[in-house]
Amino acid sequence: MTLSSSASPTHGLRDYPSGIAGGLVVLLILALALLAPLLPLADPLALDLKQKLVSPCALHIMGTDQAGRDILSRIVWGSRESLLIAVGAVSFGSIVGVTLGLIAGYMNGTALEVVIARFFDILFSIPMLVLAVALIGILGTGPTKLAGITFSNEIKLIGLIGLSFTPALGRLSYAAALVEAKSDYVRAKRAQGAGWLELIFVEIFPNAIPSVLIQGTLFIGVAIIVESSLSFVGLGVQPPTPSWGTMLADARGYIFSGEWWMTAFPGIAICSTVIGFNLLGDALRDALDPRKGAISSFV
């Protein structure tokens, strides 16, 4: 299906300064996460009790924690865990949710649609953190072996957080499939002998991409908060692996003793990253709004 622009003025991402700012923040965090092994940073796991609780200085730009570990290094390395889990969770939720949503929308009026819709309703009815805490409490925080396959704690977090995103992303694709399944071009392809897999994933799926992309970008910020929250209470990334949530958990005992840098910098990292993804997602939503004729002009 060809998307054409309307007669109204078109807009690209460059027309949204807040989106550009958010994109730059996201690119910076991604670059730091990917290049962490190549950057001249201290070992994030190295203990040096002689340097514990050092305030920000030339040697330790963001200071050190209670074990003498460099906070800047731990924030940079911690970004790898946060982004890996967040992006992985959104990707998992998108694959499962979009696939089920497209099938349910195409199979409108069948028992399969009802089963998928009820599955989405059940997941929607359970608060995200409650679901994650309950399942991690059952499975434990260490590696879990199922059917001969060992799943690390990070993989479990990706699956659990991603499962909570499944119904929202699924309903977006479900709505798109409901409309497109009744369109003339789908009927024409069906008359030509196209199978349901081809109709769903070749003809209908491209029309669900913009809304899923926008919501997925926003969900990455949500996933970072969820992962940090779980790590804060000891159910997420496990020590000694650096994580923004565990850094805040370690720092909570020093809130009133003057070591402000232990909470400030991990908190700033979480807030700036989440805000960056939110700004980028909002700009994508406006730039991809078909009512503005923006899809075909998006840069």
* Per-residue pLDDT tens over the stretch 199-251: 888 888 888 888 899 899 999 999 999 999 989 988 888 888 899 999 999 99
From CA 139, how far away is CA 212, in angstroms rounded? 30
Burial of 146 (0-12, 13-18, 19+ CB in 10 A): exposed
The DSSP result for 64-94, as a single string, is B-TTS-BHHHHHHHHHHHHHHHHHHHHHHHH
The helix, strand and coil proportions of the chain, stated in percent and rounded to the nearest 5, come to: 70, 5, 30
Angle among Cα 142, 145, 149 to the nearest 5 degrees reads 125
| Residue ranges of domains in the chain, CATH in brackets | 13-33+56-297 (1.10.3720.10)
CA distances from 263 to 197, 244, 284 (A): 51, 10, 32
Structure pTM?
A: 0.86
Pair of tokens at residue 123:
């997941």
Burial state string for 19-51 with b = 16 or more CB within 10 A and e = fewer than 16: beebbebbeebeebbeebeeeebbebeeeeeeb
Reduce the DSSP state of residue 145 to 3 states and report it: strand
Residue segments in the chain with a per-residue pLDDT below the cut of 70:
1-14, 289-299
From CA 129, how far away is CA 134, in angstroms rounded? 8
Strand partners, 272: none
Task: Note the pLDDT of residue 129.
Answer: 75
Residue 193's region, left for phi above 0, alpha for psi from -120 to 50, else beta, is: left
Task: Note the pLDDT of residue 169.
Answer: 93
Reported as type and span, the H/E element at residue 149 is strand 149-151
Quick one: how far is CA 180 from the chain centroid?
Answer: 27
Task: Note the pLDDT of residue 298.
Answer: 33
Task: Note the pLDDT of residue 289.
Answer: 61
Q: Tell me the residue type at 191.
A: A
